[in-house]
Each structure stands twice: as structure tokens, then as C-alpha cells.
């Protein structure tokens, strides 16, 4: 798989690919068996993105000389949702529920098995690599791990400037440097550090580099895949504030992916809760927190830390049954 971006360390993909399936859990099966409550709002409003019945199966093959498909991991099982222009839409669920796979399909980093992805009114799911040019400019991604998603041998200037080069948007070296330094300033980095290498920056600063690279092409939709999970708690709020400010100032639509409902609540207008490759609930932030409709959502809410002596017991209860394995999902 190629993203055509030399500044993107292949480990960024490997970090997502290397996920280990979690242990199957009978309690999780009981949760999944409960009928899904859907306060769905499909088809309303001015949508920048419309995802319908998106499916991703990863084949499981056997054989040394001739690979035979024996089964498939159904990572995403018919997911549908809309992202409205200018809104922050949250996709939340535990590790392994299919959030990153959904994001990677929407960006067309991987091909969907079936389903449609309408961006700005046009279905991009059937487009071939060579036909994705303008779409690649309009949809950009911020990755989870700022340590492995930046090429350690490239300077910050070349990392942030790479999308400008690829899309031929910088007319000369001076113009390119001016634009990159403008972006560095916008995300709170010192423009003087243009020639520094990623290892000279802290985790939070590296994530700012990743964000500057993602907004370099002035995208319409930014997909942030767990952008603060790898950062110290003290730094997380700074990066979330930066994303909120950019979203507001640049008029971005934001698809925000997280496993932590407390983070999503702070960021999002509407939230979709994913479980075992499906969306089990979709509601506005206020609705979801005031009246969670699905038992799984209630368990995720139970896991949110609260300054309460009983919180630990609730967290342990939630953790006891909160793992899913997409290769052997609940019935
Ligand atoms: N390339 C792949 N080949 C086979 N299975 C895969 C592949 N990529 C992901 N999976 C499986 O698909 C399921 C969903 O993975 P995905 O990375 O989308 O989950 P996630 O919700 O984003 O988790 P996390 O929050 O840990 O990133 C997992 O069971 C994972 O092991």
C-alpha cells in the first residue's frame, strides 16, 4: 500500500496493521446480542461525507506455494454515517472494533470490500488510485503515534512541505519555506526549527508536526485517528485545543476517532459508538451522555474516570467484559 507521501514513515501503517486481536469474551457477546438502539440521523443536513453499508473483510489464507482463502476477518460490518460540513463527528469504541479500518477506507488508504463513500456528493469508493488526486487533497489524516508516523531522517521542513511538493503547490523554495513556516506558526511550533529532525521534538510537538502536514493542503475533511492516545495526559488537552481551534478557524469538518468517551465528549457534536465492526448507537453528544441507549455505550460511560470512590469498581466491571476479537466476534 502506498500513500505517495515520502514523509510518511511506513511504520505509521504498520502501527495500525500490527494490532493484535483481543480475547473473546462471553459478557461482550451478551452486550452485542442486545438489539442496537439507533438514533440515526442519516440523510439530514449538508453532508461533506456520507458512508453507507461500508464493509471490510481481511482474507485469512493458508498454503505455502498456493495461498488459499480459508476465512476472513470481518473488521467492519456494514457501517453507515454522515459527517456534516463544519462539524466534529466522533467515532468511538474499544480497541479492535474497526475504527481505524473505517478511517483508512474513507481515506482510500485501503479498499473497501463493499459499500459507498460519498465525499462532497461523489462516490469515491470505486475510484482507482490514479483517479484519487483531488480527493487526496481534500481528505487528510492525523495518525495516532507521532513517534512512528514521521520519517526520522526528514527535517520538519521537508515533512510538512512534502504534501505541497506532491501536489505541486509550492512555486519555489522561498515560497515553500514561507508556507511551511506559516503552518508551523499556526500549530504552535517555532518556525525557526524548520531544519530540525523529529527526534529533537517532544511527543506533543511531533503531533503538531503531523497536524501541520495534514492541514498543509487546506483539506475539507480531517480524520484524526486517536490523535492524543500516545501522548502524556498533560499534553493531551493542548493538542485537543489545537484541533478545536483549527477546526473553527479553518472551517474544517473533523472525523475524530477515540476509545475514550471523555475525550470525544469534549470534542464532538455527534458521536457514533462502534462495537465489533458495527455502529450500535449514533446520537448528539448531549443525548449520548444524558441518555445512553445501548448497554455497550453505558459500559463505555462507566469506564470514564470520575472523581468518585466507587469509580474504580465500575471501571473494573466495565473492563471485565470489554474486549472484542473481529476474527471471532460475538454472535
Ligand atoms: N491488515 C489486516 N489484516 C487482518 N486483520 C486486520 C488488519 N487490520 C486490522 N485487522 C483486524 O481488524 C479488526 C479491527 O481493527 P482496527 O485497527 O480497525 O480496530 P480499532 O478499533 O481501530 O482498534 P485500535 O483502537 O486499537 O486502533 C481487528 O481485529 C484487527 O486485528
Q: What is the DSSP string of 130-141?
A: GG-HHHHHHEEE
**Per-residue CA distances from 300 to 25, 288, 296 (Å):** 16, 11, 6
**Per-residue CA distances from 26 to 23, 171, 180 (Å):** 10, 59, 51
Residue 263 maps to a domain: yes
Residue 7 maps to a domain: no
Instruction: Outline where 141-259 has alpha helix (H).
Output: 156-166, 173-186, 203-215, 233-250
Quote the pLDDT of residue 220.
95
Atom of ligand 1 nearest to the CA of 93: 21
Residue pLDDT, tens place only, 251-298: 999 999 998 888 888 899 999 999 999 999 999 999 998 888 888 888
Nearby residues of 312 by Cβ (< 8 Å), 6 or more positions away = none
Q: Can you give the pTM of this predicted structure?
A: 0.80
Residue 300 maps to a domain: yes
Q: Which band of pLDDT confidence, cut at 50, 70 and 90, is reported for residue 8?
A: very low
Atom of ligand 1 nearest to the CA of 20: 31
Q: How far apart are the C-alpha atoms of 291 and 1, rounded to whole Å?
A: 42
Interval between CA 116 and ligand 1 midpoint (Å): 20
Q: What is the mean pLDDT of residues 296-310?
A: 76
Residue pLDDT, tens place only, 130-183: 888 889 999 999 998 888 889 999 999 999 999 998 888 877 888 899 999 999
Rounded to the nearest 10 degrees, the angle between the axes of helix 295-302 and helix 311-320 is 130
Q: Which of 153, 152, 214 minimizes the C-alpha distance to 186?
A: 214
Nearest CA to ligand 1 atom 26: 95
Interval between CA 207 and ligand 1 midpoint (Å): 22
Domain count, the chain: 1
Q: Across the strands, what pairs with 201?
A: none
Percent of the chain with pLDDT over 90: 54
Max Cα-Cα span within the chain: 61
Residue 187 maps to a domain: yes
Q: What is the CATH number of the domain that holds 62?
A: 3.40.50.300
Atom of ligand 1 nearest to the CA of 226: 25
Q: Are 249 and 195 in contact (CB under 8 A)?
A: no
Residue 12 maps to a domain: no
Residue 327 maps to a domain: no
Which residue range is the domain that position 281 belongs to? 39-305
- The ipTM estimated for the assembled molecules is 0.95
Residue 316 maps to a domain: no
Whether the CB of 79 sits within 6 Å of ligand 1: no
Whether the CB of 259 sits within 6 Å of ligand 1: yes
Whether the CB of 329 sits within 6 Å of ligand 1: no
Residue 10 maps to a domain: no
Amino acid at each position: 500500500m502506498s500513500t505517495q507521501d515520502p514523509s510518511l514513515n511506513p511504520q505509521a501503517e504498520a502501527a495500525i496493521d500490527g494490532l493484535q486481536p483481543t480475547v473473546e469474551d462471553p459478557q461482550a457477546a451478551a452486550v452485542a446480542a442486545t438489539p442496537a438502539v439507533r438514533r440515526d440521523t442519516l440523510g439530514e443536513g449538508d453532508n461533506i461525507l456520507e458512508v453507507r453499508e461500508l464493509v471490510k473483510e481481511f482474507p485469512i489464507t493458508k498454503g505455502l506455494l498456493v495461498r488459499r482463502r480459508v476465512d476472513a476477518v470481518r473488521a467492519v460490518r456494514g457501517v453507515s454515517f454522515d459527517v456534516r460540513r463544519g462539524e466534529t463527528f466522533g467515532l468511538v469504541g474499544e480497541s479492535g472494533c474497526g475504527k481505524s479500518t473505517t478511517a483508512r477506507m474513507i481515506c482510500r488508504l485501503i479498499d473497501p470490500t463493499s459499500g459507498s463513500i460519498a465525499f462532497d456528493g461523489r462516490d469515491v469508493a470505486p475510484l482507482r488510485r490514479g483517479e484519487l488526486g483531488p480527493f487526496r487533497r481534500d481528505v487528510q489524516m492525523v495518525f495516532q503515534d507521532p513517534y512512528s508516523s514521521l520519517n526520522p531522517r526528514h527535517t520538519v521542513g521537508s515533512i510538512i512541505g512534502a504534501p505541497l511538493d506532491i501536489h505541486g503547490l509550492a512555486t519555489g523554495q522561498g515560497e515553500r519555506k514561507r508556507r511551511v513556516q506559516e503552518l508551523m506558526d499556526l500549530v504552535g511550533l517555532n518556525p525557526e526549527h524548520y531544519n530540525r529532525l523529529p527526534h529533537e521534538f517532544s511527543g506533543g510537538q511531533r503531533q503538531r508536526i503531523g497536524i501541520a502536514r495534514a492541514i498543509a493542503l487546506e483539506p475539507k475533511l480531517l480524520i484524526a485517528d486517536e490523535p492524543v492516545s500516545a501522548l502524556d495526559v498533560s499534553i493531551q488537552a493542548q493538542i485537543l485545543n489545537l484541533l478545536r481551534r483549527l477546526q473553527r478557524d479553518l472551517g474544517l469538518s473533523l472525523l475524530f476517532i477515540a476509545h475514550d468517551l471523555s475525550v470525544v465528549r469534549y470534542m464532538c457534536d455527534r458521536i457514533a459508538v462502534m462495537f465489533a465492526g458495527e455502529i450500535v448507537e449514533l446520537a448528539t453528544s448531549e443525548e449520548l451522555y444524558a441518555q445512553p441507549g445501548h448497554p455497550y455505550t453505558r459500559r463505555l460511560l462507566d469506564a470514564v474516570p470520575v472523581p468518585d470512590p466507587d469509580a474504580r469498581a465500575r471501571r473494573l466491571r466495565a473492563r471485565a467484559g470489554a474486549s472484542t476479537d473481529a476474527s471471532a466476534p460475538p454472535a
